[in-house]
Amino acid sequence: MPRVEAGQARVFDALGLSAREAERVLASGQDAISLMAEFWRAGMPIEEVAAWRAAGFTGEEAARMRAEGTDVEQAKVLRALTEGDEP
C-alpha cells in the first residue's frame, strides 16, 4: 500500500475520504490534489466527493449520474458495499 504523505492526508481528510480510501486513490495513480480538481471541474459539491470516489466513480461520471437523477445517498450505499474490498 502506498503511504499517505501528511499534506495529502489533510486534503483527503478535507474531502472526507478514509485512510483506506486515500490509499486506493494513490494506488490508482491519482493524488489528493488531482482528485480534488477533478471533482471541482466536474461541478461536484465537495461534501459529495468521498461518497462518489469511494464508490468508484470519476468526477465526470458522478456529475453525469447526478444530472440523471442518481443522488449522493445511492453513492453512499455503494461506498458502504465496497468498504471491505481490496484496493
What is the full per-residue pLDDT of the chain (87 aa) written as tens digits? Answer: 457 889 999 999 999 999 889 999 999 999 999 999 999 999 999 999 999 998 889 999 999 999 999 888 888 887 777 665 554
Cell of 16: 472526507
**Sign of the torsion formed by the C-alpha atoms of 63, 31, 53 and 76:** negative
Q: What is the per-residue pLDDT for 81?
A: 78
48 and 62 in contact (C-beta within 8 Å)?
yes
Separation of alpha carbons 9 and 32, rounded Å: 8
